[in-house]
Amino acid sequence: MFRHYLSRILENQPGCHVVGETVDMKQTLEEFAKVNPDLVCVGISLPYHGGLEATRQIRRLRPSTRVILFSEAAGEAYQAAAIHAGADCLLLKNAEISVIVQTLRGMMQADSQRSA
């Protein structure tokens, strides 16, 4: 449900183009290889090996891709696991949508400034 909600919100943001939604790690990695997005939002509890492993594999395949992990729980252990896996940040699913959108925009702006 969160995935659909986030996708709909992002589709309505200027300059944002949602290129896909996936339901598990296998599908996430298959779509990633096809689409080669600049930023990937991954649920930490993604079925079949989870979002942490998906993040590790995305980083291995294309280190420049930004990865945001979403979780229902917070804490230092979650933050440490996300960073160790290679995520750029960990956001809570219950965060204000304005915070989520602002974080995504900030990452994309940082990328455009870095490549300019």
Neighbours of 85 (CB within 10 A): 22
pLDDT score at 95: 93
Q: Which pTM was predicted?
A: 0.85
Catalogue all structural domains in the chain, each as residue range(s) with its CATH number: 2-106 (3.40.50.2300)
pLDDT score at 111: 64
pLDDT score at 51: 92
**How is 32-67 classified by DSSP, letter by letter?**
HHHH--SEEEEETT-TTTHHHHHHHHHHHH-TTSEE
Q: Half-sphere exposure of 49 toward its Cβ, with a 13 Å CA cutoff?
A: 12
pLDDT score at 116: 47
Q: Along the chain (116 residues), what's the average pLDDT of each consecutive run of 10 residues? A: 87 86 91 92 86 95 94 90 95 93 84 56
What is the longest distance spanned by two Cα atoms in the chain?
38
